[in-house]
Structure 1
């Protein structure tokens, strides 16, 4: 059962800027390409940081206002105040950057983006060079599978290859990504395993089952006294 990784879904043609790119050019670049953030590369082509729309908006946020209010902001938000005065990517960017590796499994990348509230993350190779960028919409591609493909994989890889189950005893139906399992297994303890492994199949939205069993092996057997 092959699991797709970030390398399978990431965008490899990434819009980037250098540390010396001026503020206005960064804003124009992001507007032109319809992106909310842009990676910043150093002279060696390695990822140095990232500039987001929020970083650019600091300049407007801290513009003008009473002196006393600005001093209070300075004490509480020194970094944001510094970005408000920045004129290039070097001063605007956030670093270090939360990144993922090309070989990162898609579920792990999804958890990372959700944990940090990011829409996207740079993909960095082992040598530190930018390999691509992966967005939430890219990670959702795993659900763009046909019901027939999902059914075939569940039968072939889960039931037959992994669990050695007779497909004649277990019936699999897939509708809109939801897998419906009916039939019988030999042992009761196999039911949660079948359900769990089916749910782990790429593209599966949910698993609904009505599985029976021949033997209940979930309770210890009472042996007669000698």
Structure 2
């Protein structure tokens, strides 16, 4: 079945404290060859995120501020730029609030959070918002690099065997580029939506083609519907 964030996250997290200086942040990112990191407080709770973009924005603001003529009244955007230009610590430079996820969240859901907020990494926190790991786009995308044969085996041997209660269920599964086709006859109509939903939740499945029929329908049986929208259960 679908894996969660806790299974793919990086446990050894490079982090910063609020008081860390600009130069130390640059050194930290360079030393570990990363593009961003979470900022935590003394209780290891995530309070923000620092990225290379934040550091570059600060340097650009300093350069612009040095060229600007002093005016007694500044617009809000100018005041904000001036504050960035004079920022010297992680606490002043970080983007906040931090967008975080919990380890039990599904990978597809975490990927949608990344896409919605336009971020490259998500700090993973426990129920008390303490940092326990980090998930990057690369971590999440590894799930969708599975082969069609791996996907087919999981659908056949885990989803169908579990829902139908036996390994010799007689349902044929074929997968091409993540698109999964199910063909065969089910004994109970109630199993149909369970099979479709279970198949959608398998990592690497990008869509389901339903070719299943029911031997003894308990009522009108229409085509099984998966989650709405092309990105409902995958990213």
After TM superposition, the runs of 4+ consecutive aligned structure 1 residues lying more than 6 A away are 68-71, 187-190
- Asked if 2 retains the 8 angstrom alpha-carbon contact of 1:187 and 1:214, the reply is yes
Task: Please state if 1:59 is matched with 2:58.
Answer: yes
Alpha-carbon distance between aligned partners in 1 of 2:72 and 2:8, rounded to the nearest angstrom: 44
Identify the structure with bigger relative contact order (alpha carbons < 8 Å, sequence gap 6+). 2
**1:116 aligns to 2:127 (yes or no):** no
Q: Once the two structures are superposed, what CA deviation does each residue of 1:108-153 show, in whole Å capped at 9, x if it has no partner?
A: 2112111111111111123432111101111122224343432232
1:189/1:218 contact within 8 Å kept: no
Equivalent position of 2:13 in the other structure: 14
Instruction: Specify the alignment match of 2:230 in structure 1.
Output: none
Q: What's 1:204 paired with?
A: 205
Separation in 2, partners of 1:75, 1:215: 69
Per-residue CA distance 1:147-190 (angstroms, 9 max, x = gap): 34322322233333214588564211234433232233457786
Give the TM-score, by structure 1 length. 0.78
**Residue aligning to 2:135:** 134
Q: By how many angstroms is 1:69 displaced? A: 9.1
Taking the TM superposition and a 5 Å limit, the aligned residue runs for 1:35-184 are: 35-62=34-61, 63=63, 64-67=66-69, 74-76=75-77, 78-163=79-164, 167=168, 169-184=170-185
- Matches of 1:129 and 1:4 in 2, distance apart? 22
Range moving further from structure 2, 8-17 or 205-214 = 205-214
> Of the two, which has the highest radius of gyration?
1
RMSD, matched Cα: 3.1
Q: May I ask how many residue pairs the two structures share in their alignment?
A: 218
- Indicate if the aligned counterparts of 2:171 and 2:183 stay in contact, CA closer than 8 A: yes
Measured after TM superposition, the shift of residue 71 of structure 1 is 6.2
Equivalent residue of 1:67, what SS? coil
Any gaps of 5 or more consecutive residues in structure 2? 222-235
- Distance, in Å, in 2 between the alignment partners of 1:47 and 1:180 is 43
Select between 38-47 and 88-97 the one with higher mean Cα deviation.
38-47
Partner residue, 2:220 = 218
Conserved 8 A contact 1:199-1:206: yes
The unaligned stretches of length 5 or more in structure 1 are 220-226
CA contact (8 A) 2:161 2:169 kept: no
Indicate conservation of the 8 Å contact 1:58/1:81, yes or no.
Answer: no
